[in-house]
A and B are shown apart, each in its own frame.
Chain A
Amino acid sequence: DTAVSQTPKYLVTQMGNDKSIKCEQNLGHDTMYWYKQDSKKFLKIMFSYNNKELIINETVPNRFSPKSPDKAHLNLHINSLELGDSAVYFCASSHFLYDSYEQYFGPGTRLTVT
């Protein structure tokens, strides 16, 4: 029973393509996040959603658009992929906004842009 799941696990695509990564959590959490871990291993937050509402939007190119159809899902759509988008993307969730700092992470999606 995976708590936070992501699909796909690996994604190889060419520059200029549009791709999506899906995330689902079955923990009943209210808040979900997307993180990016780059080649230098920095794990940086990109977005957070609370009950389908965007809360955090870090300085991320607008080619990246999160979509939350319900509070158990937070998908990440990326337009016009660039070489620099190659990274591991992690989805995470937590119980209450501002109430719990403990975030539960998915296994990650390794995106390679060629």
Chain B
Amino acid sequence: DQQVKQNSPSLSVQEGRISILNCDYTNSMFDYFLWYKKYPAEGPTFLISISSIKDKNEDGRFTVFLNKSAKHLSLHIVPSQPGDSAVYFCAASARNTDKLIFGTGTRLQVFP
């Protein structure tokens, strides 16, 4: 049973444009959400997170939006750069657990 879903396995965006990566979840107990970025042959690296008490969190070119009623979050990258090309994982956690539940990832390719 997949509690965190990333339905787009891949996304291709031109440099300078906006990249929007989507994530859906089913468990209403999740109260913290994270995005990780992964390059080939490396481990995932933390990118940005959001608590369920917020609907938006921004860090430089990266913004995460949370829509709790729809159980949906998205990561916006503006402007996209070739170095952003990687696999992006959405993850979620419930209160008082240290267990992260990951989605299957979306491969983003930013082309010149």
Contact = CB atoms under 8 A, between A and B. Distances in A.
A90 B43 contact: yes
A50 B36 CA distance: 22
Given A42-B102, A55-B98, A108 B41 contact: yes
Interface stretch (B14-22, B53-61, B77-85, B89-97): B89-97
Interface residues of A, number: 26
B93 A105 contact: no
Q: Chain A at the B interface: mostly helix, strand, loop or mixed?
A: strand
Contact of A101 (B43, B89, B100, B102): B100
Contact of A108 (B32, B36, B42, B98): B42
Given A41-B104, A107-B43, A102 B34 contact: yes
A68 to B, nearest CB: 15
Interface stretch (A14-22, A69-77, A92-100): A92-100
18 contacts: A33-B98, A42-B104, A43-B44, A43-B102, A43-B105, A50-B98, A56-B99, A90-B43, A90-B44, A94-B98, A98-B97, A101-B93, A101-B98, A102-B46, A105-B43, A107-B41, A107-B42, A107-B43
